[in-house]
């Protein structure tokens, strides 16, 4: 019998889920930022989180691809 949080942890740590989540952070915030670029908004913070998550997820995917070769 697997541990109760095994599948949840495996889903959260999946890099493809990370890319989808980061895009959910980035795309709506970009629309809000592009309306008026001169105003400092909280969306810049969310955009930074999305970009960091996106880069980390892509790094995991590329590391997995290189380990297969």
Work out the angle at residue 45's Cα, subtended by the Cα atoms of residues 42 and 49, and round it to the nearest 5 degrees: 145
pLDDT digit string (tens) for 40-63? 888 888 888 888 888 888 888 888
pTM for this model (two decimals): 0.69
Residue 3 burial by Cβ neighbours in a 10 Å radius (0-12, 13-18, 19+): exposed
Please, are residues 46 and 22 in contact by the beta-carbon 8 Å criterion? no
d(CA 59, CA 26): 18
The token pair at 60 is 């995991």
pLDDT digit string (tens) for 16-30? 888 888 888 888 888
pLDDT band at 15 (very low <50, low <70, confident <90, very high): confident
Domain boundaries of the chain, sorted by first residue = 6-68
Between residues 30 and 69, which one has the greater pLDDT? 30
Q: Is the pLDDT of residue 1 over 70?
A: no
């Amino acid at each position: 019998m697997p541990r109760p949080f095994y599948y949840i942890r495996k889903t959260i740590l999946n890099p493809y889920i990370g890319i989808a989540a980061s895009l959910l952070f980035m795309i709506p915030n970009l629309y809000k930022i592009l309306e008026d670029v001169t105003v400092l908004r909280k969306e810049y913070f969310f955009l930074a989180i999305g970009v960091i998550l996106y880069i980390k997820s892509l790094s995991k995917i590329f590391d997995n691809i290189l380990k297969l070769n």
